[in-house]
Structure 1
Amino acid sequence: MTYNIPENLKGLTETEVEISGKRYGYNTLGEIKKETWISLLIGILKEPMLILLISISFIYILIGDYGEALFMFAAILAITAISFYQDNRSKNALKALEKLNEPLSKVIRNSKIVEIPTSEIVVGDLCITEEGNLINADGKILYSNDFSVNESSLTGESYSIFKNNNSEDNEIYSGTVTVSGLAVYRADRIGKETRVGKIGQSITNITEEESPLQIQIRRFVKGMAVIGVFIFLCVCVFSFINTGNFLNSLLNGLTLAMSVLPEEIPVAFTTFMALGAWKLMRSGIIIKRSSIVETLGSVTIICTDKTGTITQNTMHLKHLYDYKSDTVYGEEEFKSGKLNRLIEYAMWSSEPVPFDPMEITLHQIYEHTQITDQRRNYTLIHEYPLEGKPPMMTHIFENEQKERIIAAKGAPEAVINVSTLTKEEKYKILSEVKKFGEQGYRVLGVAMASFQGNDFPEKQQDFKFDFLGLTVFYDPPKKKIKNVLEHIYDAGIKVKVITGDNADTTKAVALQAGIKNSTAVINGSDVSSVSEERLMQLAKETTLFTRMFPEAKLKVITALKKQGEIVAMLGDGVNDGPALKAAHIGVAMGNKGTEIAKAAAALVITNDDLEKLVVGITAGRRIYANIKKAVQYIISIHIPIILTVSLPLFLGWVFPAIFTPVHVIFLELIMGPTCSIVYENEPMEKNTMKKPPRQLTETFLNWKELTISIIQGLVITAGILWIYQYSVALGNDEIKTRAFVFSTLIFANVLLSFVNRSFYYSIFESFKNRNILLAGISFLVLTLLFIILYVNPVSGFFSVSSLTAKELGLSLLTASVSVLWFEFYKLTKRNMSKIK
């Protein structure tokens, strides 16, 4: 982008920036509290699992079992280290996202225009704002070009105000929005000193709303904690009545409480969300809140703007229709001289410093076709900004000889309606517009007017315009858009187009892009005039919405949400802002999107490639599925631990304390990384994008899924308790029986982590999805098991004996039968399903 900015505006030097920063600070609304390692450590030590471990350690010290106490302290260090690693991993991912999400601002420094993070603006900086930008500091306008600003965030007034350096009010304020043109302003007040800062609208005070999944998981964990406390009390009382030993009874109770508490689940959720968002960021998808990753997988409807999202937004001028000669001209005839007046007025009706692709094209065509460039000889003296339904805009220029140019352009219907044409002439031109629209062309009407004096009409529609002709642009659909839309439809997601363009053009482009449509087109005025009930029906049934303005877009999004749809809205313009904000997921284009669109959106696609949205939806579904797998694994493996600890005690079996805290904590150290590291790394199953989207209100684990996990856990428990009784029946002592039971549970845990990679495909099919972390952790766990069984000092500490090859084989066989039965369930499920 080239800016015609006066050379005397040089900006601050690097030394002046440093001095200003030290004296006045930087452009932030308050110091963000940084977490120290001490606060992190205190947070980790508050976790229930750590509190239980510390309590058990002190009991071991009290009863004089210093070896066990030392192991518990080692376990505390290990869990703390793992928690530090997980916390830092998640926090670093979120910091990277935060840094990428920080808006950039254009400033002039050392006579050069540079982009810097908005937080680095200092007092005295010369800032540049242009159409669609949020203004990021309070200051005075030094230079402007057709500049207007919307100050509704401060004043409540929704209309735009034109300002320049000579205006009585030449101040602009942080938090307001540039509606048109460009301005250079000096930053006089930044951060907390700005008007918006003093009002106290600080982003640091906004708390992130919890997602339904977060709430459901929190409830589940709290429920398990309540159950754990109840069982803990029962075990303590029961054991004390039987033995009369308070410390041992307390130890038994704490062991069981430790086996019940599913502390891995919240850790897994945080890890999955943060790393999911970070991985998407590396793919070119910036997500502002990590919880959005979950919502992405639930999207049921994608509402998209046409220009710049479905199309390339190149706006190539293909034809010009000259009304006077009633002729359509192709590109090769633009220089013929016959079209000079039409081209000239199309350019004058555009912004002097163009931002819109169509206006940039018109300026370029003017440069290439006109013998004399008159742009430097004329000054813009009055403007009517783009407005109306459908919209149009008018510019009034004047030179030193007081010669005037009044040029208008806009939607053909709008320009025709204010032109001095007969009904027959209007009908004829509209028929030309329709022909172009049916070919997918974007059409604008161009007109001119004359006016004496400076008492300009209040509305541009009050001028008497002479219609000049039509500019016909072609904005082709993006490459691979058909393939992208095919993936979206395969995933059971509906697509709706919400655009300001006319019906014919929209239908043609939709057809070229591969959008499925079998219903009539609805325009913005219809959306505004119907009842809420009728709008709900229209929003549900209609695919193409045309001639839409911001309020109409917002109404459609709201109507879809009320019907329980999970809506993603794609847009890049200022007019898309309200709809982007209202949608469950607002998606802005990173390259061609305006700053206001990016600020309103929850997700930004950095390279404007719609295929990235499919990547995001796929990631959302993968992450949601993997969280479910992790939680179901945790439930299934906790049940045998809980029952193996409690049933021998309650049923009065010969070895009531078959597991001690040492064994339980070892199992916990295995399960934590398995669910939060291994399952987070699990690739997507091949049928993920062939399933319909889930409802956002759907319970995280429905009763069927919960029942399956409970049955898995109970079958594993049955196998472990069978091996317990088998060992006792052979006359084995407690140490040998414990080795049998412990080995069977470890084997079952490893097999379960492989089986639960998919609740649909076989374990052999899942091997095709490489997950090196699963293989690595499984190998490590089995290595540790063999060390515990066969290295004497270690086996003595764990109170187990070695097993013969036959005994080890029996333990593995029992675990295999207890876990692999589930493969027959999955086979039955596949045979009954249409998805392969």
Structure 2
Amino acid sequence: MSYNIPEHLDGLSENEVIASRKTYGYNRLESADKNTWLGLVVDILKEPMLILLLIISLIYVIVGDYGEASFMFLAILAVTAISFYQDNRSKKALKELEKLNEPLSKVIRSSKIIEIPTYEIVVGDLCITEEGKSINADGRIVHSNDFSVNESSLTGESYSVFKDSTSEDNHVYSGTVAVSGLAVFQVEKIGKETRVGKIGESIATMEEELSPLQIQVRKFVKGMATIGIVIFLMVCIFSYVKTGDWVASLLSGLTLAMSVLPEEIPVAFTTFMALGAWKLMREGIIIKRSSIVETLGSTTLICTDKTGTITENSMNLAHVYDYHSDKIYEERDFESAELSELIDYAMWSSEPVPFDPMEITLHKTYEQARQKDERKEYRMFHEYPLEGKPPMMTHVFENKRKDRIIAAKGAPEAILHVSRLPESEKAKIREVVKKFGQKGYRILGVAKSYFEGNDFPGKQQDLAFEFLGLTAFYDPPKKRIQEVFRRIYDAGIKVKVITGDNADTTTAIARQAGIINVDDPVNGSEIMNYPEKELIQVAETKTLFTRMFPEAKLAVVKALKKNGEVVAMLGDGVNDGPALKAAHIGVAMGNKGTEIAKSAAAVVIANDDLEKLIVGIAAGRRIYANIKKAIQYIISIHIPIILTVSLPLFLGWVFPHIFTPVHVIFLELVMGPTCSIVYENEPMEKNTMSQPPRAMSNTFLSWRELGISLVQGIMIAIGVLFVYQYTVQNGGTEEKTRAMVFSTLIFANILLSFANRSFFYSILESFKNRNPLLVGISVLVLTLLFVILYVNPVSLFFKVTALNIHELGLCLLMAAASVLWFELYKFVKRREGVT
């Protein structure tokens, strides 16, 4: 794109950039992130499970049992390594997201316009900013073209201010937004030295707000920790009263506390969200906060723009209607002399350096139709920016001979309103507009005006306009867009189209795109007149919202949210900012989106493809489902551990300490990777995107789901304790009983991890969803079990004895019976069609 920048503005050289950076540093606030390698390890060592292991290790050292103490210290290293791996993996994923979220800035260096990451801007740089872009440093304007800026983030004043190099205040400030035109400014302050930087240093240390699911997970873990403390005290007191051995009593209590504490849950949650966001980033879906992945899966309604989202945003000029000849012309006729005035004024009403697709097309049409290009002879010296309801814009140009061109374009209704035409002529033109609209064309009215002197009226609508004609652009629906909307509807998600275009064009394109319920659209001015109750009803029942402006978009989004919808709002312009911010999930377009839209949004789709939003929603549903699977697995497998540790003690069975801390920590080392690594990698079930969205209020396990997990856990406990009693009744020693109980629990754990891959489909069906990590970890766990049973020094340490084939078969049979009954439950669910 050509910016018509004066040649003397050549910017810094590479050596000057290096020198400036040495003096002033990078354009960013000092990072508040203190998560160094050492800090990460210290944070891990603060975890309750690690604290319990340290206490148990010290007790073993005090009583002189150095073998057990050594194993505990090795366990501490293993748990720390797993936690460090998981935390580091999550943080790396989040850092990658931060890099992608870093905006780019245009600068002039060594006489070339280049794009650089914003943090690389240095003092002395010449930065270019234009309509819709955020300003990323403080500086002084050295060149501008109809430049205005919104400084409300600093001043609170909502109106935009026109500035140039000669203005009394010719400075721009980081954090403000260019509203119109273009400016080149020389950077004077960066990073924490900017105005917004001085305000923002305190913001950098603020913690991210927790999502509803995070809050409920934390409450659950705290509740379980409290129960663990109570049980720990009960067991300690009970055991000491019974045995008088305070060391054995303390170890029994700590063993049970370890078995109760579900420390895997918060680790699993953090891992799932961070890696989910990272995987979406690789798909071209940039998530600003990892917790937004949870909300994506709950989306019930999508509000989408039309242009560039549903359509290709190609904006080909298909037809023009010339008012003077009262004829409609096709593309092959655009060089006709009869159309020269209409095409000239359509171009002059556009920006001199166009970036809007329609304006780019108008400039190209002018180039092809005119033998003499007069654009270099004229200078735009006054501008009325796009405004009004419906909107229009007016540009005033003048050449050295003081010849003047005043050109306007905008919504046909807006141009007809300001044109001096009889009502009968306006009605005739409206019929043409309707015909164009019914074919899906996007229509602009074009007019010209005359004005002597420079005392222009405050509003462009106060100028006297002569109507010239209409331009009809065709922006066809994207290929495969019907399939995209079919998948959205299949997922139980509703669609609303919110656009600035007129009703006829929007209805035609919506029908072609496969959107349902497109009759009787409502426009922005009507929206603002509805009382709240009626607005909620209209927002819920209507599908097409046309001639929408920022306040109307915001009103619709708020009304939908009040009605209980989880709203994803797609937008790309400066005017979409408020609605993007208000929606549960603001989604900005990466290619055609303005910086302010990207800043307001929580999600950025890199290639502007609506299909990527479905990918994001599917990922959100998959991650949420997998978190629930992981948590239900954790609850189910903790119950038999708790009961196996506690019941023999409380019921006075012959071997009250069947499990010691060594056995529990081994089981914890098995469960941790299973829930936070294996389940995170679990593919999406085939019925996931054919289910209706979950309610936002259902952010954790329902009583029914919790009940299933409790029953699963109790059934495994019954199987394990049956093996305990069977072995004892048949004269088994403590080592033999422990080996039988331990093996049964390990087999049950592996089978449960496979059974809980789906709470609807069978284990055999789930094998179609390949998850190599699950198979790999299962093989590893079985290998370790056989090492414990059959490698003599290890079996002595674990206080177990080898099992023969019949004993192993009994363990496997009881494990299968205590887990695989769940397959019958799932079979009944499938027969009844209950999900």
Fold agreement, TM-score > 0.5 = yes
Q: In the alignment, which residue of structure 1 is the partner of 2:211?
A: 211
CA offsets 1:595-633 (integer angstroms, 9 cap, x no match):
111111100110111111010000000000000000000
CA distance in 2, matches of 1:358, 1:164: 27
Q: In the alignment, which residue of structure 1 is the partner of 2:199?
A: 199
Aligned pairs for 1:385-534 (under 5 A) are 385-534=385-534
Q: How many matched pairs?
A: 835
Q: In the alignment, which residue of structure 2 is the partner of 1:126?
A: 126
Task: Tell me by how many angstroms 1:834 deviates.
Answer: 6.9
CA distance in 2, matches of 1:559, 1:494: 15
CA distance in 2, matches of 1:203, 1:760: 46
Unaligned 5+ segments in structure 1 are none
Q: In the alignment, which residue of structure 1 is the partner of 2:262?
A: 262
Q: In the alignment, which residue of structure 1 is the partner of 2:179?
A: 179
Query: Residue 69 of structure 1 aligns to which amino acid in structure 2?
Result: A
CA offsets 1:647-704 (integer angstroms, 9 cap, x no match):
0000000000000000000000000000000000000000000000001111410000
CA distance in 2, matches of 1:201, 1:146: 33
CA contact under 8 A between 2:510 and 2:518: conserved in structure 1? Answer: no
CA contact under 8 A between 2:142 and 2:184: conserved in structure 1? Answer: yes
Secondary structure of the structure 2 residue equivalent to 1:83: helix
CA contact under 8 A between 2:507 and 2:518: conserved in structure 1? Answer: no
Q: In the alignment, which residue of structure 2 is the partner of 1:144?
A: 144
CA distance in 2, matches of 1:548, 1:68: 71
Q: In the alignment, which residue of structure 2 is the partner of 1:692?
A: 692
Q: In the alignment, which residue of structure 2 is the partner of 1:833?
A: 833
Q: In the alignment, which residue of structure 1 is the partner of 2:380?
A: 380
Query: Residue 359 of structure 2 aligns to which amino acid in structure 1?
Result: E
Task: Tell me by how many angstroms 1:109 deviates.
Answer: 1.0
1:291 counterpart = 2:291? yes
Aligned pairs for 1:468-617 (under 5 A) are 468-617=468-617
CA offsets 1:75-115 (integer angstroms, 9 cap, x no match):
00111111111111000000000111111111111111111
Task: Tell me by how many angstroms 1:295 deviates.
Answer: 0.5
Secondary structure of the structure 1 residue equivalent to 2:397: strand
Query: Residue 290 of structure 2 aligns to which amino acid in structure 1?
Result: S
Q: In the alignment, which residue of structure 1 is the partner of 2:813?
A: 813
Task: Tell me by how many angstroms 1:201 deviates.
Answer: 6.5
CA distance in 2, matches of 1:656, 1:198: 64
CA distance in 1, matches of 2:198, 2:658: 65
CA distance in 2, matches of 1:652, 1:807: 25
Query: Residue 737 of structure 2 aligns to which amino acid in structure 1?
Result: T
**Stretch of structure 1 that moved more, 817-826 or 33-42:** 33-42
Query: Residue 611 of structure 2 aligns to which amino acid in structure 1?
Result: E
**Stretch of structure 1 that moved more, 453-462 or 292-301:** 453-462
Task: Tell me by how many angstroms 1:51 deviates.
Answer: 0.5
Task: Tell me by how many angstroms 1:23 deviates.
Answer: 1.1
Secondary structure of the structure 2 residue equivalent to 1:178: strand
CA distance in 1, matches of 2:171, 2:4: 21
What TM-score, normalized to structure 2?
Answer: 0.99
CA offsets 1:224-274 (integer angstroms, 9 cap, x no match):
001100100000000000001111100000000000000000000000000
Aligned pairs for 1:656-735 (under 5 A) are 656-735=656-735
CA offsets 1:706-746 (integer angstroms, 9 cap, x no match):
00000000000000000000001101110100110000000
Secondary structure of the structure 2 residue equivalent to 1:256: helix
Query: Residue 719 of structure 2 aligns to which amino acid in structure 1?
Result: G
CA distance in 2, matches of 1:405, 1:167: 26
CA distance in 2, matches of 1:561, 1:531: 16
Secondary structure of the structure 2 residue equivalent to 1:338: helix
CA distance in 2, matches of 1:159, 1:352: 24
Q: In the alignment, which residue of structure 2 is the partner of 1:325?
A: 325
CA distance in 1, matches of 2:583, 2:490: 22
Query: Residue 312 of structure 1 aligns to which amino acid in structure 2?
Result: E
Aligned pairs for 1:54-203 (under 5 A) are 54-200=54-200, 203=203
CA distance in 1, matches of 2:6, 2:357: 24
* CA separation of 1:101 and 1:327: change in aligned 2, threshold 3 A: same
CA distance in 2, matches of 1:282, 1:498: 29
Task: Tell me by how many angstroms 1:182 deviates.
Answer: 1.2
Q: In the alignment, which residue of structure 2 is the partner of 1:225?
A: 225
CA distance in 2, matches of 1:777, 1:271: 18
* CA separation of 1:737 and 1:199: change in aligned 2, threshold 3 A: closer
CA distance in 2, matches of 1:618, 1:287: 14
Q: In the alignment, which residue of structure 1 is the partner of 2:37?
A: 37
Secondary structure of the structure 1 residue equivalent to 2:335: helix
RMSD of the alignment, in Å?
1.0
1:766 counterpart = 2:762? no
CA offsets 1:347-378 (integer angstroms, 9 cap, x no match):
11111111111111111111111111111111
CA distance in 2, matches of 1:154, 1:357: 32
Task: Tell me by how many angstroms 1:564 deviates.
Answer: 1.4
Secondary structure of the structure 2 residue equivalent to 1:380: strand
CA distance in 2, matches of 1:206, 1:437: 50
CA distance in 1, matches of 2:205, 2:642: 42
Secondary structure of the structure 1 residue equivalent to 2:384: strand
Secondary structure of the structure 2 residue equivalent to 1:339: helix
Task: Tell me by how many angstroms 1:287 deviates.
Answer: 0.4
CA distance in 1, matches of 2:728, 2:169: 92
Aligned pairs for 1:11-22 (under 5 A) are 11-22=11-22
Task: Tell me by how many angstroms 1:146 deviates.
Answer: 2.2
CA offsets 1:161-191 (integer angstroms, 9 cap, x no match):
2222233332111111111111111011112
Task: Tell me by how many angstroms 1:156 deviates.
Answer: 1.9
Task: Tell me by how many angstroms 1:194 deviates.
Answer: 1.6
Secondary structure of the structure 2 residue equivalent to 1:588: strand
CA offsets 1:730-769 (integer angstroms, 9 cap, x no match):
0111010011000000000000000000000000000000
Q: In the alignment, which residue of structure 2 is the partner of 1:238?
A: 238
Task: Tell me by how many angstroms 1:519 deviates.
Answer: 4.4
1:790 counterpart = 2:801? no
Task: Tell me by how many angstroms 1:506 deviates.
Answer: 0.6
Query: Residue 5 of structure 2 aligns to which amino acid in structure 1?
Result: I
CA contact under 8 A between 2:32 and 2:205: conserved in structure 1? Answer: no
Unaligned 5+ segments in structure 2 are none
Task: Tell me by how many angstroms 1:825 deviates.
Answer: 0.1
Secondary structure of the structure 1 residue equivalent to 2:334: helix
**Stretch of structure 1 that moved more, 374-383 or 684-693:** 374-383
CA distance in 2, matches of 1:300, 1:547: 24
Q: In the alignment, which residue of structure 2 is the partner of 1:24?
A: 24
Task: Tell me by how many angstroms 1:203 deviates.
Answer: 4.7
CA contact under 8 A between 1:304 and 1:498: conserved in structure 2? Answer: yes
